[in-house]
Amino acid sequence: MAIHVSNKRITVVKPKFVAECFTLVIRYVPIAFNLDQVKEEIKRSIKSADHFKEIIYSYERPTRDYRFTVADLREYNVALQLRRIAVGNRLLPITTYKAANKMTYCTKCWGLGHLRDVCTILTQRCRICLGNFGPNHQCSNVLKRANCQLKHHSLDPRCDVIRRYRTELNKAVNMAICEGKLHRREIPQQQD
C-alpha cells in the first residue's frame, strides 16, 4: 500500500508477525479444554487472535494458561479493559504476556551460560542424544541432558539445573534493574 506524506510517496509494508507486546494470556483454563476449543472460544470475541500456544510451566498445575497474539489494536485494548473472556461458560482472566528473561545456551554443545561462538568443544553435539553430530551421525533417540546427564531434553523447564539457572538469571536481572544498570521498556498506551 502506498500513501503520500508531504508530497512524498511512502510504501507501507505490513509486518509478517505481531510483536510480543501485543500478546495476551488467558489464565486458569480447565484441563478438560484442548487448544482448539480454547482457540475457537477466544476467536468468537477477539477476531484477530492468532498464534495460540500453551504456556509450559516447570511444575504441575490443575489448569492451563494459553498465550496468543492480537493483531487489531482496538480488540487488544478492549480485551485488556474487559479483563475477562468466556470459555466454556466460565469467565477466565486475561492478562498481558510478560516474556521471560532469555536464557543463554550453546547450540553446539547444548550447555548453559555461553553461546556457540565461544564454545570450547571441537565438534557439534546432537540436540537429542548429545553424540557427536556429523555427516554419519545416527541418533539413538535417547534423551540426554547436557549439564545433568539425566534422560530429558537439554532445555526442559522441569530440569532442576534449568530451574536454578532461571532463578539465578531472574535474580541477576532484578538486581541490575534495582541498581539502574538495566531498564524495563514500558509499552506506550494508545490515546483515543
Over residues 123-150, mean pLDDT: 84
Under 8 Å CB-to-CB from 191, ≥6 apart: which residues?
none
Asked if 72 and 24 touch (Cβ cutoff 8 Å), the reply is no
Over residues 127-156, mean pLDDT: 82
Q: Please tell me the predicted confidence (pLDDT) of residue 185.
A: 66
Instruction: Indicate the burial class of 169 (C-beta count within 10 angstroms; 0-12, 13-18, 19 or more).
Output: middle
Residues 7-54 have pLDDT tens digits of 888 887 776 666 667 899 999 999 999 999 999 999 999 999 999 999
Q: What's the per-residue H, E or C state across 78-125?
A: HHHHHCEEEECCEEEEEEECCCCCCCCECCCCCCECCCHHHCCCCCCE
Report the percent of the chain where pLDDT is more than 70.
92
User: 95 pLDDT band (50/70/90 cuts)?
Assistant: very high
Round the average pLDDT of the chain to a whole number and report it.
86
Q: Please tell me the predicted confidence (pLDDT) of residue 11.
A: 81
Q: How far apart are CA 121 and CA 190, in angstroms?
A: 49
**Which of 7-16, 71-80, 154-163, 179-188 is the least confident region?**
179-188
Please provide the CATH number assigned to the domain covering 20-96. 3.30.70.330
Across 3-7, 14-18, 121-125, the highest mean pLDDT is recorded for: 121-125
Instruction: Indicate the burial class of 117 (C-beta count within 10 angstroms; 0-12, 13-18, 19 or more).
Output: exposed
Q: Please tell me the predicted confidence (pLDDT) of residue 18.
A: 61
H/E segment holding residue 27 = strand 23-30
CA-closest candidate to residue 64, choices 90, 38, 45: 38
Start and end residues for every CATH 3.30.70.330 domain found in the chain: 20-96
Q: How far apart are CA 31 and CA 86, in angstroms?
A: 15
Q: Which residues pair with 5 in a beta bridge?
A: 8
Model confidence at 144: pLDDT above 70: yes
